Amino acid sequence: MLLKDLLKELRESRGLNKQELANKVDISRSYISTIESGKVEKPTKKTLMKIAYVFDPDGEQNIYSVLLEASGYDTKNSKEEYRNYLNEMNANFQETKKFNGEILSGMKYRVNKHDNSVVFLDKPYMNILWLLEQEDFRVYLGYEDDEFFIDDNGTPFSKPLELDDEDKNNLLFQVRNFQSNLLLMKKSLKNKIDIDELTIDSKEYTLIFDLLNNRINDKNELISKLAIINKEREIFNAKEYHEEINKAIEDQDAIKLQRLVRITTINELKKYLSEQK
């Protein structure tokens, strides 16, 4: 297929006009027109890479190679070239963190959970709500039970379970309910965490104030109050720990007391002691 026909077919398959494609590729609309009219038969490889990225952002469809072939280029190293281009795109993002508010909000990207690599998309496909609300694409939910396609060689393939409008609306209703409950739960959890943190801070400051003013009568009372703040401590009965607290009280050093109150492990205590020498 000639490049002019291939580009037009790709563009129309995604429902893009020439200006929209030009914006995505970062070239002029007139240049897209010259390619589709056949006046430009061999754009640069860089331009073809940008075009391929619009239609094949993860390289699975090998569109870059097809564009190269249609332009008269040698395709021998095309897969490696395009993979390097994709790696460069992702590396630039990882280095510059170019996600602005608009991009984040638009959700037109896919982020790999394992290595945080990013693929930019033309639609927010990873947004479940968008998928159920949009009307341009068919939506599937796994496969039908005991339903198969049989190809010309007699090989059976599972038949996808397609959702009709009523199915999508029913699922959308359930997803929205789940979303509402999830938001409420997250809000409640955040409020609880904030309250817990404030409570701990309040108890910590109260304990330090009481220590500075000699309101703690003995070691057991101190241990009890420390346990209220954080009972997961290894140093409750460490002699050196209580000695350092007494020194900080004598010096009226609130900063040291705060640090000592926050120490919970033997290693933290050893580090503190080594710094005091």
The CATH number covering residue 56 comes to 1.10.260.40
Residues contacting 204, CB < 8 A, separation 6+: 229, 258, 261, 262
In the predicted model, what is the mean pLDDT of residues 12-30? 86
13 and 79 housed in the same domain? yes
> What is the average pLDDT value for the chain, to the nearest integer?
85
d(CA 86, CA 95): 14
In a domain, 173, yes or no: no
The reply to whether 49 falls in a domain is yes
- Name beta bridge partners: 148: 158
Question: Residue 20 domain-assigned?
Answer: yes
**269 in the same domain as 199:** yes
Which tokens sit at 169? 């609306």
Q: Let me know whether 143 and 87 are in one domain.
A: no
Last residue of a domain, one of 96, 119, 154: 96
* Rounded distance between C-alpha atoms, residue 186 and residue 194, angstroms: 12
What value does the mean pLDDT take over residues 242-250? 91
For residues 229 and 261, the answer to whether their CB atoms sit within 8 Å is: yes
Per the domain annotation, does 182 fall within a domain?
no
Residues linked to residue 140 through DSSP beta bridges, in sequence order:
162
- Select the more confidently predicted residue: 275 or 115: 275
Average pLDDT of 6-26?
87
**What's the pLDDT tens digit per position in 68-122?**
999 999 988 888 888 888 877 776 665 555 555 667 788 888 877 776 777 777 7
pLDDT at 138: 92
Q: Which domain holds residue 86?
A: 3-96
Distance (Å, rounded) from C-alpha 133 to C-alpha 107? 15
171 φ, ψ to 5°? -70, -40
AA identity, residue 186: K
Residue 105 lies in a domain: no
The torsion angles phi and psi of 140, rounded to 5 degrees, stand at: -120, 155
Total-model pTM: 0.46
Tell me: do 80 and 13 sit in the same domain: yes
Query: Looking at residue 167, what is its pLDDT?
Result: 94
Residue 163 has pLDDT above 90, yes or no: yes
Q: What is the pLDDT of residue 93?
A: 62
**In this structure, is residue 116 part of a structural domain?**
no
Q: Is 107 exposed, middle or buried (0-12, 13-18, 19+ CB in 10 A)?
A: middle
- The dihedral built from the CA positions of residue 164, 167, 173 and 175, taken in this order, carries a sign that is negative
% of the chain surpassing 70 pLDDT? 90
- Cα-based distances in Å from 22 to 31, 50, 51, 211: 8, 10, 9, 70
Number of domains observed in the structure of the chain: 3
**Is the same domain home to 81 and 135?**
no
61 in any annotated domain: yes
Distance from C-alpha of 244 to C-alpha of 255, rounded to nearest angstrom: 12
Give the helix/strand (H/E) hosting 144: strand 140-150
Which has the higher per-residue pLDDT, 213 or 192? 213
Point out the least confidently predicted range of 48-52, 129-133, 177-181: 177-181
Regarding whether 86 and 45 lie in a shared domain, the answer is yes
